[in-house]
Chain A
């Protein structure tokens, strides 16, 4: 057991972790549901979290290494209870089905648009190629990313 301190969704937190526990296991013991382990191999993105502003697979990241980091998950909302632009676009386009992959896609889309505010369809597909959706909601997700980009542009 090791005690780590990090910032979780803007709040300082302390946690006891075992070295062999990964980030998803830790977050779930802290009551967060958004990051889930599915493939466990870095392929599907269901476990996506942001560490120091960068998306990582929580299933391949040792919890102990969060010590001192800034961690953001899908649970972080800018304004309590409100959907952000990306989530609104996903809602508008019906870009989810079972929802298991959805937090990962939303977080990755936010990252994409932060780096590339007007991605081409090819850029969207490449950026999101590491996120799998077995329900195959891909066409709707692509439309949602494009819509989110348009809303952001209009708002900027």
Chain B
């Protein structure tokens, strides 16, 4: 690994100041896990890393209001996994984290890093998209909020401008919405997903009012599947056939990418099956525990 400079500012303000530069080789670091992998592989050679680890602890806090859970971007994935608030309000996130990377990585990796990295094989983005989450982005003197769906724009690409940091993630409380995530690995169980399927269903009595389906890993970035969502809108939750139709619609509209984890044709079949199963999981999980 090439030498570089490591700075550890003690406040967000200071960090934003250090990042306010046109120099593309200055990068923020959360847990540094993804950065370190890229630097070891020689695909990233920063001149300076601005570590966020020592900024105010508030940026790692998890809190709730009446209608949303707010997670600081510096919260580690294991802090989120074990948070009482997340477990009771957003159990699908706690469940997702259990098979995301491993204990040691989760102890270090941050939510901000997980989202900003924009590796299409990340597990959290599709879940957060299905849950309707947004990121709060800060830059020197400004703050903006953006749906997670609009954050990741391509293969390792985000809409973050240079000098911008993700500082918080806001996830609406789900109330009557039921959700599930399926991580599909095609090699060993500890692999990154070949396909991620997240669903969130709003129901009114026996009728599905709205469905959000987000898929990832088989694409260059996480995507919503509009046609499959449309099939579910207004359908009865007792209608098993509609789940099959939704799976078929998902398979028809998705354009998966072939790689060593599987051919495009096979991934399309996985989408068909796992969208249906994820919907089933979500319906079964109603009122269930994490």
- The dominant DSSP class at the B interface is mixed
Task: Identify the interface centre among B33, B98, B101, B104: most chain A CB within 10 Å of its CB.
Answer: B104
Q: How far is the CA of A156 from the CA of B107 in the complex (A)?
A: 28
Q: Are A65 and B53 in contact (CB under 8 A)?
A: yes
Interface members, chain A 114-137 (any B CB < 8 Å): 126-127, 129-131
CB < 8 Å neighbour of B105 from A19, A40, A60, A65: A60
Query: Hey, which chain A residues are within 8 Å of B53, CB to CB?
Result: 65
CB < 8 Å neighbour of B190 from A40, A108, A130: A130
Query: Hey, which chain B residues are within 8 Å of A42, CB to CB?
Result: 33, 37, 101-102, 104-105
Contact with B along A135-154 (1 / 0, CB 8 A): 00000000000000000000
Interface members, chain B 49-82 (any A CB < 8 Å): 49, 51, 53, 78
Verify if A18 is at the interface (C-beta below 8 Å from B).
Answer: yes
Verify if B99 is at the interface (C-beta below 8 Å from A).
Answer: yes
Q: With A41-B37, A129-B190, A130-B101 known to touch, is A61 a contact of B3 (CB < 8 Å)?
A: no
Q: How far is the CA of A45 from the CA of B105 in the complex (A)?
A: 10
Verify if B260 is at the interface (C-beta below 8 Å from A).
Answer: no
Query: Hey, which chain B residues are within 8 Å of A129, CB to CB?
Result: 102, 189-190
Q: How far is the CB of B225 from chain A (nearest CB, A)?
A: 29
Verify if B1 is at the interface (C-beta below 8 Å from A).
Answer: yes
Q: How far is the CA of A32 from the CA of B1 in the complex (A)?
A: 22
Q: How far is the CA of A19 from the CA of B4 in the complex (A)?
A: 6
Query: Hey, which chain B residues are within 8 Å of A56, CB to CB?
Result: 104, 107-108
CB < 8 Å neighbour of B37 from A18, A19, A54, A60: A60
Q: How far is the CA of A127 from the CA of B36 in the complex (A)?
A: 23
CB < 8 Å neighbour of A130 from B2, B6, B39, B105: B105
Q: How far is the CB of B134 from chain A (nearest CB, A)?
A: 29
Verify if A6 is at the interface (C-beta below 8 Å from B).
Answer: no
Q: How far is the CA of A43 from the CA of B101 in the complex (A)?
A: 8
Interface members, chain A 6-42 (any B CB < 8 Å): 18-20, 22, 40-42
Residues of A whose CB lies within 8 Å of any CB of B are 2, 18-20, 22, 40-43, 45, 48, 54-57, 59-62, 64-65, 108, 111, 126-127, 129-131
Q: Could you list 17 further interchain pairs (A-B, Cβ under 8 angstroms) beyond the known A42-B105, A60-B32, A130-B105?
A: A20-B39, A41-B37, A42-B37, A55-B103, A55-B107, A56-B108, A57-B105, A60-B33, A60-B37, A60-B105, A62-B6, A65-B32, A108-B103, A108-B104, A126-B99, A129-B189, A131-B102
Interchain residue pairs with CB less than 8 A apart (11): A19-B3, A19-B5, A19-B6, A20-B39, A42-B104, A42-B105, A43-B190, A55-B104, A59-B36, A60-B32, A60-B37
